[in-house]
Amino acid sequence: MINKSLLEPKSIVVVGGSEDTTKPGGKLLKNILDGEYNGKLYVINPGRDKVQGIKSWKTVNDLPEPPELAILAISAQHCVTVADELAKKGTKAFIVISAGFSEDSPEGAKLEESLKKIVDEVNGTLIGPNCIGVLTPAYNGIFTSPVPKLDPKGCDFVSGSGSTAVFILESALPKGLTFSSLITVGNSAQLGIEEVLEYWDNAYEPGKSSNIKLIYVENIKNPDKLLKHASSLVRKGCRIAAIKSGITEAGQRATASHTGAMASADSAVEALFRKAGIVRCFGREELTTVASVFNYPKLEGKNLVIITHAGGAGVMLTDALSGGGLNIPPIEGKAHDDILDILNRGASASNPIDILATGTAEQLGKVIEYCDTKMDDIHGMIVIFGSTGLSRVFDAYKMIHEKMKQCRKPVFPILPSVTSAREEVEFFLSHGHINFPDEVVLARALTSINQTPEPADEDIFREGIDIPAIRSVIEDAPEGFLDPATINNLLQVAGIPVVQEDVATSKKELMSIAKQFGYPLAIKVIGPVHKSDVGGVTLNIKSDAHLLSEFRRMRKIKGVKSVLVQKMQTGTELFIGAKYEPTFGHVILCGLGGIFVEALGDHSHGLAPLTFNEAWSMVRSLKSYPIIQGFRGQEGINEEQFVEIIVRLSTLLRFATEIKEMDLNPLIGNKNEIRVVDARMRVEKNEGEDEGEDEDEVESAPQMTQIDTDVKKSKR
């Protein structure tokens, strides 16, 4: 648990403080001194009487009092002894920047465990080891540069990697982005990203705490905790952006289903972030640009106006925004004529509004004001204004500054001339603004934010789902692939509609089923992984002769002893699949079915359990969504039922974590109904682990334990 001694220590000891500021202990001490820390500062360095003007003590026992916070910058093998001595004297907070622990060797891992045990025994706080430290309003406890001046309205930032945190700072500061705190967790021996989120959530004070949280994470050890506290923070009004790196394929993935081939741990991360309302980023520039957008008022819609004097930049911005789902609507009629009246001859008011290189600061201001006050269907403005090399642009930047203060709609400034107009950009930033030097990066940030949903509700949908029956079927089922009857039973007790079907092992059974169902029929072999690859599917059978002929042919396929007979369905083929990811739970995918599942690569995913809003978002985000709606005269499907089936399946899986892979492919849908036509499920039972959830004890978050990645490099 993060304590006050870590964040606001009244006394600090730097163990290993040095005169040499090229060493971590020396630079860290210098940063604390430069930050004008107002508490008591001690140094332990047996070889010197003074270090950087601070009295140096030889051992822990020589200190005049136990410090509240100890920062250790000594070799790993000495950290345990020193930490033990400090803990016994009453120190309750430790930052260990030293490397050589679990990231280095098994011996180092043992040292790390001993270090954690020492701190845990005194109910203390441990940051690290193998980190660059902590930056709070009270002290500059990091050994790197730059050291940003903190701003209470800036970003709270937690990073699993110290060096990456530095690179992110380097990306952020030139834009004008500010920070209110920085915590680097390194090896996370005691406290990781999730615990920092928990602290931010529990300590949040409206109007006082920062509303922007940034995360760089390499290992998600407890997705449950991350989901709980990130969702809570977003609901309180915070905005969160995160980079998750280090996703790899941990060994050969199962390919017994379409889902097994498509789902991955990265899919689970993506789904987790969406469920929590976290904007996912994939690089430093994207993260800091998203954070910069967070500093501006929220867009209340998707319609934007671009105001520029550079046509090419406006076109690139338009392409990037439109491709990400935001609108650059044409300006027509009176508004178009009014704006043209403001500008010089040859200007354009179509959107982008091109004021030309000859446009003045006054004209720029009038256009911004018109878009803000006269165009109710516009939700925000983006202004691109750089240097032409002919004159200074102070007047234009002053005008943008003034209009940003006055406008009721957000105005996003793109000031690209960071070299030729460096002084003007610095003037603009000095007024508390943030600059977006690249129009396409800004567009990607805006679209990522727009595409990130609000946190999902916590309740699990249970209506018409017989959870005790689900558990009974799973407990009685053998490991491996389930037979069709068991699959049908599971789907039916979950309220998922299935096609009328039966199994035939003989001609007599076959003909009896045909008489009962009536034609047309479909028959499929029971057994092969991909039935179509072995000729194991025949559709639209309309006669006894055709049925018997196909039955005889299929019985000759190796391993086939019976066939599945189904009442023929008509409509659009759909797909829903799921794969269990250790730590995260079931990743659920949906899209068009049949051969299109992998051929189109068009599927969306979510993390069980799903809400209706999440399922709707999954369906509507498909590129093939127009086909689902009905395209060029082709009948669409019953979207509400498709969404409900996705939600019901997610609840089924929430209470049957033994199902490791599942394909419902295809479901056949039309405007009236959707039914599952073909399904595969693989069960794997590990006693004592993931055995499904008790109906009365289940929590709302997914079943999770820990995800493996290949990130074993230094966190510093």
Q: DSSP for 222-264?
A: -HHHHHHHHHHHHHTT-EEEEEE------SPPP-SSHHHHH--
Phi–psi pair at 550, nearest 5 degrees: -70, -35
Asked whether residue 706 carries a pLDDT value surpassing 50, the answer given is no
Q: How far apart are CA 545 and CA 551, in angstroms?
A: 10
- List the one residue out of 76, 82, 106, 77 whose CA is nearest residue 14: 82
**Cα four-point dihedral sign 514, 517, 523, 525:** negative
CB 598 within 8 A of CB 261: yes
pLDDT of residue 715: 62
Provide mean pLDDT across the span 198-221.
96
Q: How far is CA 427 from CA 148, 193, 361, 432, 575, in A?
A: 18, 36, 16, 10, 55
* Short-list 412, 328, 418, 415, CA closest to 375: 328
Res. 597 pLDDT band, cuts 50 70 90: low
Q: How far apart are the first and last CA of the chain?
A: 22
Q: Looking at domain 1-132, does it have CATH number 3.20.20.70?
A: no
Residue 281 phi/psi, 5-degree rounding, is: -120, 160
Q: Which residue has the higher pLDDT, 246 or 640?
A: 640
Rounded to a whole number of angstroms, the CA Rg of the chain reads 31
Compute the mean pLDDT over every residue in the chain, rounded to the nearest whole number: 90
pLDDT one-digit tens code per residue, 288-337: 999 999 999 999 999 999 999 988 899 999 999 999 999 999 999 999 99
* Total length of the chain: 716
Query: Between the CA of residue 511 and those of 207, 363, 514, 645, 677, what are the distances in Å?
Result: 74, 83, 5, 32, 20
For 296-433, the fitting CATH number among 1.10.3720.10, 3.40.50.720, 3.40.50.261, 3.30.1510.10 is 3.40.50.261
Does CATH place domain 459-497+571-700 in 3.30.470.20? yes
The arithmetic mean of pLDDT across residues 36-53, rounded, is 96
- In the chain, where the domains are located: 1-132, 296-433, 459-497+571-700, 500-568
pLDDT at residue 6 tops 50: yes
This prediction has a pTM of 0.87
Higher per-residue confidence, 275 vs 527: 275
Q: How confident is residue 255, by pLDDT bands cut at 50, 70 and 90? A: very low
Please determine, for residue 712, whether its predicted confidence score (pLDDT) is greater than 60. no
Second-level CATH architecture of 500-568: 2-Layer Sandwich (3.30)
- The stretches of 4-70 forming alpha helices (DSSP H) are 4-7, 24-34
Token pair for residue 630? 């009905």
pLDDT digits over 642-666, tens only? 999 999 999 999 999 999 999 998 9
What confidence tens digit (pLDDT) does each residue in 136-187 have?
999 999 999 999 999 999 999 999 999 999 999 999 999 999 999 999 999 9
Which among 601, 584, 658 is positioned nearest to 227, based on CA atoms? Answer: 584
Element of type H or E holding 41: strand 40-44
Q: Is the pLDDT of residue 635 over 80?
A: yes
Indicate if the pLDDT at residue 710 is higher than 50. no
Residues 469/663, Cβ–Cβ less than 8 Å: no
For 95, 194, 234, 242, 362, the CA distances from 156, given in Å and listed in that order, are: 18, 14, 14, 12, 38
For 416-469, how does the pLDDT look when each residue is reduced to its tens digit (9 = 90+)? Answer: 999 999 999 999 999 999 999 999 999 999 999 999 999 998 889 999 999 999
pLDDT, mean of residues 109-118: 97
**With helix as H, strand as E and coil as C, how does 128-148 read?**
CCCCCEEEECCEEEECCCCCC
More confident residue, 643 or 696: 643
Res 204: pLDDT: 97
The reply to whether 296-433 shares the fold of 1-132 is yes
Residue 603's pLDDT is: 84
